[in-house]
Amino acid sequence: MTDWSEQTQQARNWFEELRNRICAEFESIEREAGSDAAFEYTDWQREEEGNTDPGGGTRAVMKGKVFEKVGVNVSTVRGNFAPEFAGTINGASADNPGFSATGISLVAHMANPHVPAVHMNTRFLTTQSAWFGGGADLNPPIPYAEDTEQFHARFRAACSAHNPTYYDRFKKWADEYFFIPHRGVHRGVGGIFYDHLECPDTAGFERNLAFTRDVGEAFLDIFPKLVRRRMAAEFTPQDKQAQLEWRGRYAEFNLVYDRGTLFGLKTGGNIDAILMSLPPEAVWS
Amino acid sequence: MTDWSEQTQQARNWFEELRNRICAEFESIEREAGSDAAFEYTDWQREEEGNTDPGGGTRAVMKGKVFEKVGVNVSTVRGNFAPEFAGTINGASADNPGFSATGISLVAHMANPHVPAVHMNTRFLTTQSAWFGGGADLNPPIPYAEDTEQFHARFRAACSAHNPTYYDRFKKWADEYFFIPHRGVHRGVGGIFYDHLECPDTAGFERNLAFTRDVGEAFLDIFPKLVRRRMAAEFTPQDKQAQLEWRGRYAEFNLVYDRGTLFGLKTGGNIDAILMSLPPEAVWS
């Protein structure tokens, strides 16, 4: 089994740098809207019996004028999966339950229903295998074809720079993953989703980290443009109501189906960080 | 295998009678508060491939002045469980996936945060076995010891009339069941929960139906008293906010853990009926 601790640190450094740049950019947007909202950072420690260094993370949350609620969590954890959970994870088993994971996870719920909500997450995991995963998807309560196209185009460009098959595969994966079976609807207008992007060796790690960095860069490039485009748009009480109902669907997806939520709950993650993705307010009619 | 169709009809008749009496009582409460709110009834048909008589149900929903949102669903369904689900159900298997189920399910979310929300559900299921299940639990955003005691006392009386062990067992079961592991908190102040109350023969059916009727009667006796006690109480915006946050926990429980939700989703139930339990509005801070 390769020792991936150096690579895990390298991935973690990138996730923290990306978090810092995203938070600075989102705070700039709040300034432009005349708000002095800022992220509040809270460290949390993971606990695992018999594990003296189980890791933890930092939850950053801002409640602003443009960003009704945005959370960015960076965590780096290590230890052993619970035996019954280990068998469900790539490269792990009840006999080999050891793992490490570092990642960034972001969900933004916007005040203005014309501005799309968004999710972005990238991560590096090691068990007996080592791999990257991640993705980003756009969740407009009121969809605009222009926004959807530009969001996809930017991720298509990021994917194509690394592998000609990535965009088609990862877009399709997002369409399949971000789907609410009991409603028979997609939770948003898609994006990309990838997992088990295996690192056979350190060169493979470098390649996959470079791609994962470009996914983060693509997000940081395109999402603020979409926010600035619509953050001052007028909206009606009916628009806001539609947004709140739409957020009910979003909460259903995250609580019933989302793998990241399950992973967090099963590995003793911080409950506030795991459920940070839930909307600030939702309605069910 | 006993033919339980006559007993299923008998249970169904009771559930529908109970629904009618509850809805009438809740509408009376609205009248007392000066509102003319009434239940709206929507029939729904279940679909199952190759099943010409899969059953269905009736969803009754009222949005009033006292009852911000209350849903009462009565459904009677029959068919075959999906093979991978059959093995998880008492008396069923991939080889014997046949089942029937009839039941009433009620969730009330109240406008005034001093008034407790409540859940009540009773049901009769048949596979190779036949059994009753059900329960009721009180979910006050702002708990009052007096309400909690009287709610429990009423169900204790209903239980004790049938079996001296029922209340202790079923109260404990509710404490275990209505618990949110990821938060480490109970979702409310408890009540009773029972399942697999087996009917070895028709005499056993009669005994268990009599108990299940008394659970319904207990609910109809005690809950309106608690509503009337507090429905005119003054509350602050902070009280309402506390209620909305508390409802976020309630939604988490129902979407992540609730067996009834899972049963409905896995057996092609009506999505609006299944998710009727979700609060009209919730917040996550």
Alpha carbon A210 to its chain centroid, in Å, reads: 18
Give the C-alpha separation, B251 to B281, whole Å.
10
Give A285's contacts in chain B (Cβ within 8 Å).
Answer: 280
**Position B246 pLDDT exceeds 60:** yes
Chain B positions touching chain A (beta carbons under 8 Å): 69, 182-183, 244, 248, 251-252, 255-256, 265, 271, 274-275, 278-285
What pLDDT, on a 0 to 100 scale, did the predictor assign at position A84?
A: 82
**Position B232 pLDDT exceeds 60:** yes
Among A182, A247, A252, the residue to mutate for chain B (most B Cβ within 10 A): A182
Active site residue B119: yes
- Name the CATH superfamily, with its identifier, for domain A5-277: Coproporphyrinogen III oxidase, aerobic (3.40.1500.10)
What pLDDT, on a 0 to 100 scale, did the predictor assign at position A271?
A: 85
Active-site residue, selected from the candidate residues A119, A152, A182, A186: A119
How high does pLDDT run on average in chain B? 94
Give the C-alpha separation, A188 to A185, whole Å.
9
What pLDDT, on a 0 to 100 scale, did the predictor assign at position B179?
A: 92
**pLDDT block averages, 10 residues each, chain A of length 285:** 90 98 98 98 93 94 97 95 87 92 97 98 96 97 97 98 97 94 91 96 97 98 98 97 94 86 79 88 91
Give B279's contacts in chain A (Cβ within 8 Å).
Answer: 284
Q: How far is CA A218 from CA A35, A155, A192, in A?
A: 26, 6, 11
Write out the E strands in B6-64: 40-45, 55-62
Among A256, A263, A284, the residue to mutate for chain B (most B Cβ within 10 A): A284
Which of residues B141 and B87 earns the better pLDDT score?
A: B141
Q: Give A108's strand partners.
A: A70, A118
**Position B281 pLDDT exceeds 60:** yes
- Scanning every residue of chain B, which has its alpha carbon at the shortest distance from the alpha carbon of A284? B280
Looking at chain B, the whole-number percentage of residues with pLDDT higher than 90 is 84
The structure tokens 């002045």 sit at: B65
What pLDDT, on a 0 to 100 scale, did the predictor assign at position B1?
A: 58
Smallest CA-to-CA distance from A189 within A172, A175, A170 is with A175
What pLDDT, on a 0 to 100 scale, did the predictor assign at position B88?
A: 86
Q: What is the pTM of this model?
A: 0.84
Q: Kindly report the nearest CA distance between residue B257 and chain A, in angstroms.
A: 9
What pLDDT, on a 0 to 100 scale, did the predictor assign at position A1?
A: 57
Q: Give A100's strand partners.
A: A78, A126
The structure tokens 């079923």 sit at: B170
**pLDDT (tens digit per residue) in B149-197:** 999 999 999 999 999 999 999 999 999 999 988 888 999 999 999 999 9
Give A283's contacts in chain B (Cβ within 8 Å).
Answer: 280-282
**Position B80 pLDDT exceeds 90:** yes
